Structure 1
Amino acid sequence: MSSKFDSYQKRRLASSYISVVISIALVLFMVGVLGLIVLKSTKVANYVKEKVAITLFIKDNVTQKQIKTFRESLLKEEFTKKAIYISKTQAAKKYSKEIGEDFLEFLGENPLKNGIDIYLKADYVTPEKVAALEQKFSKNLFVADVSYDKPLINLLTKNIKRISFWLLIISGFFTLIAMILINSSIRLSIYAKRFNIKTMQMVGATKGFIRRPFIWRSIKLGMLGAVLALIGLAVLVYYLDKYIPSLDFLEDYNTLAYIVGGVILSALIITWLSTFFATQRFLNLKTDELYY
């Protein structure tokens, strides 16, 4: 009879551990997906920002050698992603192609100017920083005029801030849900051991001694859940890279490292905290309260 009861208890305990691992894996998978969205949205936003250019129109009396030196100096600036020189001839050909006819035949001369398109690094694509750069370039002796799409930069900055704010709110919400779900699963597994906890306490075991094996077991379960979550994320990333190759999921090692590190760290922190407070609760209960 005792053998059957022990077997039943082992099966019940194993079932409890499996449910904890599955719960942790599902929650961490959800956290990993959210982290992937947040990190990739930042990369996409930066990619869009770095497509914004400031065009510097060069004065007619500036020589090609001076333009070359000026462009090389721009490339050394911390705000420059790349700087492309466009001659007045190239600009005329491009404009003629856009309007569908050669406008030089009517004018007899090329009214356009040589120019340099400066593509800024993402951190510098804000209304304030671009305006400051405009003032700086306007004072340059080689520059006749400065042009950029001001409404686009304002709209881009506003929308990115709005999206980042809501992503932060959603991330916080899902992180809270993750902690609550994992905490509930771990508390249920510890609840089954509440009488053992109280027995050990009654024979003189310290709280730290009683708590330690529960914490280590939960951390192991958390790591197992993290491994399962990472396997699921790996499959997801593989198919995303296959169907959306432009985002370079598999080649973005920094993002992948952040996701792996974040999932493992989340598993460690959440399981440790949840187990600590769950065991603390049962350690503080009186004997007659264990039955409720």
Structure 2
Amino acid sequence: MSNSFERYQKRKLISSYFSVVLSIALVLFLLGMLGILILNTKKLADHFKEQVAVTVFLKDQAKDVEIKQLQQSLAMADYTKSAVFVSKDEAAEKHSKEIGENFMDFLGYNPLQNSIDVHLKAAYVHPDSLQNIAAGLTEKNYVDEVAYDQPLISLLNDNIKRISLWILIASGVFTLIAVLLINSSIRLSVYSNRFIIKTMQMVGATKAFIRKPFIWRNVKLGMVGATVSILAMSGVLYYADGRLPQLDILDDPVWLVVLFIGIFIISIVITTISTFIATQRFLNLRTDDLYY
């Protein structure tokens, strides 16, 4: 009979530990993924900005030497990520594929112009910067026009600012939720031992002596939960990097290590504070109140 009761108690204890570890791991995993999103928000924003192309249209009388010099100077400019020359024949072929027919057969000539497609670095994809760059290029007598989608760029910058603000707000709210959820799990764990806490107190144990094993146990459970969440995050990051290599998610390991250490520290701090508060609550209760 006593062996069956001991096995039941052991299973109950293991189940309690497992639920605490699982809840901590899930919360820290979601919190860590939010942290990764925050760290990569700028990278994602830069990636989308650098997809915007500025097209420099050249006059038909532009000489090959002038075109090559312009392309080289653009490629070497501080604001340029890439500069690719597109001949009028290449542009016509691409346009024909897009519309599904050869428009030159209908017109009898190629109305398109030679051009250079310039992709700017993210820091320069801003209306004011683009206006200055376009003004400098149009001063050249062999440049006909500099074209870019100004409404799209303005909308892109506005949306990035708006999204960044909401991500910051969401991270603050979710951090608070994470603390409350972990605190709730630990309070339930301590609640199941409330009679043990009160018994130890009645036989003369000090509050610090009673709190110590509970704090240490939950800190260990928190560290296990943090380890599980870090392993899960590493798997997700590895998968995401394989599917989206252009984002270079794993190319900045220092920040990832800092984030993982931060998750570990957060688990220790939250479990310590939550356990202290929970045990202190039951230490201050009267014996009769333990039944409610």
| Alignment TM-score, normalising by the size of structure 1 | 0.72
Give the whole-Å Cα distance in 2 for the aligned partners of 1:219 and 1:137: 62
8 Å CA contact 2:53, 2:148 repeated in 1: yes
Matched, 1:117 2:114: no
For 1:98-177, list aligned pairs within 5 A.
98=99, 100-102=102-104, 106-107=108-109, 112-140=112-140, 143-177=143-177
For 1:1-292, list aligned pairs within 5 A.
12-35=12-35, 43-60=43-60, 62-95=62-95, 98=99, 100-102=102-104, 106-107=108-109, 112-140=112-140, 143-191=143-191, 192=193, 195=197, 199=201, 214-233=214-233, 246-248=243-245, 252-254=249-251, 262-276=259-273, 278-280=275-277, 282-283=279-280, 286=284, 288=286, 291=290
Deviates more, 1:211-220 or 1:116-125: 211-220
Give the whole-Å Cα distance in 1 for the aligned partners of 2:137 and 2:246: 38
Give the whole-Å Cα distance in 2 for the aligned partners of 1:287 and 1:93: 83
Q: Which amino acid counterpart does residue 78 of structure 2 have in structure 1?
A: E
Shift, 1:163, TM fit: 3.6
Q: Which amino acid counterpart does residue 271 of structure 1 have in structure 2?
A: I
Deviates more, 1:251-260 or 1:174-183: 251-260
Deviates more, 1:54-63 or 1:178-187: 54-63
Shift, 1:179, TM fit: 1.4
8 Å CA contact 1:16, 1:189 repeated in 2: yes
| Alignment TM-score, normalising by the size of structure 2 | 0.72
Name the count of aligned residue pairs. 285
8 Å CA contact 2:219, 2:271 repeated in 1: no
Inter-CA distance 277–148: structure 2 relative to 1 (3 Å threshold)? same
Inter-CA distance 75–175: structure 2 relative to 1 (3 Å threshold)? same
Pairwise CA RMSD:
4.3
Inter-CA distance 103–128: structure 2 relative to 1 (3 Å threshold)? farther
Shift, 1:182, TM fit: 0.9
Deviation track 1:236-269 (CA, whole Å, cap 9, x = no partner) reads 567767xxx6524997314787567535522421
Shift, 1:78, TM fit: 2.9
8 Å CA contact 2:197, 2:210 repeated in 1: no
What stretches of structure 1 of length at least 5 have no aligned partner? none
Deviates more, 1:149-158 or 1:27-36: 27-36
SS of the aligned residue for 1:85 comes to strand
Give the whole-Å Cα distance in 1 for the aligned partners of 2:14 and 2:197: 18
Give the whole-Å Cα distance in 1 for the aligned partners of 2:3 and 2:95: 89
SS of the aligned residue for 2:108 comes to helix
Deviation track 1:93-129 (CA, whole Å, cap 9, x = no partner) reads 444554622169635xx65443211111233323333
Give the whole-Å Cα distance in 1 for the aligned partners of 2:146 and 2:42: 28
Taking only the aligned residue pairs, the percentage that are identical comes to 43
Give the whole-Å Cα distance in 1 for the aligned partners of 2:246 and 2:199: 47
SS of the aligned residue for 1:118 comes to strand
